[in-house]
Structure 1
Amino acid sequence: MANGKKVAFYTLGCKLNFSETSTIARDFQNKGFQRVDFDETADIYVINTCSVTDNADKRFKSIVKSALKKNEKAFLIAVGCYAQLKPEELASVDGVDLVLGATEKFKVTDYLNDLSKNDLGEVHSCEIEDANFYVGSYSIGDRTRAFLKVQDGCDYKCTYCTIPLARGISRSDTLKNVINNASEISKKGIKEIVLTGVNIGDYGKGEFGNKKHEHTFLDLISALDQVDGLERLRISSIEPNLLNEDIISFVATSKTFVPHFHIPLQSGSDELLRLMKRRYPRSVYSDRVKQIKRSMPNACIGVDVIVGFPGETDDLFLETYQYLSELDISYLHVFTYSERPNTEAFDLPGVVPMKVRAKRSKMLRGLSVKKRRAFYESQLEKRATVLFESENKDGFIYGFTENYVKVKTPYQTELINTTHQIKLESIAEDGAVLFSWVNEVISV
């Protein structure tokens, strides 16, 4: 079937999607297909979709058009969350030939007996209740860090979220398989692994098809800390109610887990947190931040926040803004609320006008710039270890310290995927930090 045919991939959305795209790509390559970049001419284009925001949905059509410009006869496949939620809608997009839902996306090569263009996309989807099994995945070879999936799905019922509808119940990889995957990644010379999933703090649930926790997230990170050859492990995002004191204490003393946490907040108003059906009050979030900073004063803390949720009055937004202003955090990921059908929030009163949502989003993004700048300034004159990435941006190579400070230096190919000890000196115009070398290469 392959006959040297070329396949290209495009990923929308989160780190979890990137890990799954990479796994699907390896399956193609193992079956004789040649992987090429998405901006090259290919016989098959696979688009891994996202439905977290309305914008991700809209981008799909433009990506399809971009692929067809390269090769109007190319076979186009859609997988991922949007493909599960709205398969018929994707199938009707001009040029799309195949749409695979949550249970089928890892079997994509089984559907390639005929690569003839279809007038209407063929759909193979499922009821989301059928997505009750686990498929492990990780990214490798795409960048200097690897995304390792440890968990999928979610049992939470946040009123704005479509992820349980797109990915199903919470379920986890076995501890043994995660460790094996981490070891395999390490042997490839990759120095940093980012743990990813939908709700990774819920790790352990759903092993072997049941809801019992065979292992906890603390068990997982304790075991990963012992994997030979790994220099850095990073936790991608973890719910505040699941980030307990034991996990924080472990990271503080770990030899490989870095002092960087990304913790979803969504709102600084307890009233809105209740409407969102989040599983914690604001006080719990404050407590987690204080615990982290007590044991790791230089830790980087990122925050997810939603603006424009139904019922968010000016006063409630300002309550969130003031709360975040005073909180000892490092940066924000700001999401503008978008209505998602089949969610509770879709029918809530108090709809916030789009212009108001945009204004509030701009205010919080401005606050994020200030927070990041203040955090970077607090790290100046300190020593750190940087892992350099691969891209050449206007003659510079960039990297990140263990606590996620972005640094840059004139581009040198030999710096790619190496770690060095440095001293942070000053902040450049683009916001990255300039540094001096403390010693030679720590690891190649």
Structure 2
Amino acid sequence: MKKKVAFYTLGCKLNFSETSTIARSFVDEGFDRVDFAEAADMYVINTCSVTENADKRFKSIVKQAQKKNPDAFVAAVGCYAQLKPEELAAVDGVDLVLGATEKFKITDYINDLSKNDFGEVHSCEIEDADFYVGSYAIGDRTRAFLKVQDGCDYKCTYCTIPLARGISRSDTLENVLKNATEISAKNIKEIVLTGVNIGDYGKGEFGNKKHQHTFLDLVKALDTVDGIHRLRISSIEPNLLKNETIDFVSKSNSFVPHFHIPLQSGSDTILKLMRRRYLTNLYIDRVAKIKEVMPHACIGVDVIVGFPGETDEHFLETYHFLNELNISYLHVFTYSERDNTVAAEMDNVVPKNVRAKRSKMLRGLSVKKRRAFYESQLGSTRTVLFESENKEGYINGFTENYVKVKAPWNPELVNTLHTITLTEIDEDGLVRFDFVKTEVVV
């Protein structure tokens, strides 16, 4: 009988792409991959350390695995496993903890899957994480997450990612194009580019710090790959999103008019405390440039509330800055203290109840911004890519500029592209539409 292995991924799209690569290594070794909700001989949990919540969820996920099979071998990999391996190893039921360099060699560390009395740790010094492993994940049969870069050289005062993932380094252009071609051959319609700091692409190729290629080189090369219908840039730092890239996307064959650009604060005072590499004026310029060449573009924004030193005045500065900016939605993060970061030692800590109140205000603003963006798109003709899930009798899809639409469930629509006219916003905030023509051949 083949052994069964199941995976659970916490955190970002990058983690999902890496889980898929790790899972393929198990299949190559003769394992059957099963859903995490099923009984398995081994469970692998890919951890995240960005928020306090992700840390807390780990124990409950281990318990879920033990309920399915108390004798299952449980392994933890990923960012939290690199930062706090001994803490994870001490969790009841955990047998193996692998750090940043070891996670891709996980099959080398397992023998007969016998339970250990104590969690076994194999974790490197993060300085040793100086090589690159390419990966991609195919999620719901309609899109794939393609990893192009890993690690970060930035020293933002709140962030543990450089400690968990090491220096900035990139895949070779040749390998990215090979992976993109493999994905397109599987009839996947959309590729989302992922990494820790993808605008830094090119650094660390071939194991050195020299930029062999730029992010613009990458974008131009991917745009020529046959069979890719859509390419989406997941998240890119405002100081690394150059006007040349924006101009190219506006005329591209495959890249869609959707940008996700971290801001973190609309106060220059707080941005300096965070050691971000830009101020608000540069952010305003980036948004203005995008809207100049792509008025219909969707722009998402990351923002952190409750950073140490953020007064009511600083928060209102952020709120008004975002309210006046021509953006489409927000991802709001409540600041949480992370060990071994500069921010964790800062004075003027914001009380947690105040953090929660500010987070609620910005989430409300995000709803308002998304509604306004959707309203601005009514009457326009767009292309929708339908997803694979039946959600209470409806099928959802996204337009190229990230408007979420809904239609009565029809399995024949899954993973197909159609030209539509956006007509009205439903009670649940999703958009209804009229079909203009049948499946688009791109």
TM-score range, shorter chain: over 0.9
Aligned to 1:379: 377
Q: Helix, strand or coil: the match of 2:136?
A: coil
Distance 2:285 2:378 in 1: 27
Distance 1:267 1:260 in 2: 21
Residues 71 and 145 (structure 1 numbering): CA distance in 2 closer, same or farther, change over 3 Å?
Answer: same
56, 59, 67: which one aligns with 1:58: 56
Return the letter of the residue paired with 1:395. G
| Deviations 1:91-138 (CA, angstroms, capped at 9, x unpaired) | 000000000000000011111113111121100000000000000000
Most deviating of 199-208 and 139-148: 139-148
132, 137, 140: which one aligns with 2:138: 140
Return the letter of the residue paired with 1:187. A
125, 128, 133: which one aligns with 2:126: 128
Distance 2:206 2:24 in 1: 25
Distance 2:134 2:438 in 1: 37
Distance 1:244 1:221 in 2: 12
Aligned to 2:27: 29
Most deviating of 424-433 and 320-329: 424-433
Aligned to 2:318: 320
Aligned 8 A contact 2:424 2:433 in 1: yes
TM-score normalized by structure 1? 0.99
Runs (4+) off by over 4 Å: none
Distance 1:88 1:47 in 2: 15
Distance 2:379 2:423 in 1: 6
Aligned to 2:337: 339
Return the letter of the residue paired with 2:24. R
Aligned 8 A contact 2:97 2:119 in 1: yes
Aligned to 1:435: 433
Residues 88 and 189 (structure 1 numbering): CA distance in 2 closer, same or farther, change over 3 Å?
Answer: same
Aligned 8 A contact 1:251 1:258 in 2: yes
Aligned to 1:18: 16
Aligned to 1:221: 219
Q: Helix, strand or coil: the match of 1:301?
A: strand
| Deviations 1:400-420 (CA, angstroms, capped at 9, x unpaired) | 000000001011111111000
| Deviations 1:194-213 (CA, angstroms, capped at 9, x unpaired) | 00000000000001111000
Q: Helix, strand or coil: the match of 2:387?
A: strand
Q: Helix, strand or coil: the match of 1:321?
A: helix
183, 206, 209: which one aligns with 1:208: 206
Return the letter of the residue paired with 1:117. K
Distance 2:208 2:311 in 1: 42
Aligned residues: CA RMSD: 0.8
Aligned to 2:256: 258
Task: Point out where structure 1 has 5 or more consecutive residues left out of the alignment.
Answer: none
Q: Helix, strand or coil: the match of 1:32?
A: coil
Distance 1:348 1:112 in 2: 42
Aligned 8 A contact 1:380 1:424 in 2: yes
Aligned to 2:365: 367
Distance 1:436 1:141 in 2: 27
| Deviations 1:399-443 (CA, angstroms, capped at 9, x unpaired) | 000000000101111111100000001111111100010011114
Return the letter of the residue paired with 2:236. I
Aligned to 2:176: 178
Aligned to 1:330: 328
Map of 1:32-431 to 2, 5 A cutoff? 32-140=30-138, 142-431=140-429
Aligned 8 A contact 1:418 1:443 in 2: no
Distance 1:70 1:180 in 2: 38
Return the letter of the residue paired with 1:357. R
- Amino-acid identity (%): 77
Deviation at residue 140 of structure 1 after TM alignment: 2.2
Q: Helix, strand or coil: the match of 1:392?
A: coil
Distance 1:339 1:243 in 2: 29
Distance 2:107 2:57 in 1: 25
Distance 1:266 1:442 in 2: 38
Return the letter of the residue paired with 1:239. E
Return the letter of the residue paired with 1:404. Y
Return the letter of the residue paired with 1:342. N
Return the letter of the residue paired with 2:132. Y
Return the letter of the residue paired with 2:207. G
Q: Helix, strand or coil: the match of 2:184?
A: helix
Distance 1:142 1:409 in 2: 18
| Deviations 1:175-201 (CA, angstroms, capped at 9, x unpaired) | 000000000000000010000000000
Distance 1:161 1:184 in 2: 34
| Deviations 1:47-95 (CA, angstroms, capped at 9, x unpaired) | 0000000000000000000110000001101000000000000000000
Distance 2:43 2:412 in 1: 33
Deviation at residue 141 of structure 1 after TM alignment: 5.4
Distance 1:361 1:105 in 2: 34
Deviation at residue 143 of structure 1 after TM alignment: 3.9
Task: Point out where structure 2 has 5 or more consecutive residues left out of the alignment.
Answer: none
Distance 2:139 2:241 in 1: 30
Aligned 8 A contact 1:80 1:102 in 2: yes
Distance 1:203 1:375 in 2: 30
Return the letter of the residue paired with 2:18. E
Distance 1:138 1:271 in 2: 38
Residues 145 and 127 (structure 1 numbering): CA distance in 2 closer, same or farther, change over 3 Å?
Answer: same
Distance 1:386 1:168 in 2: 38
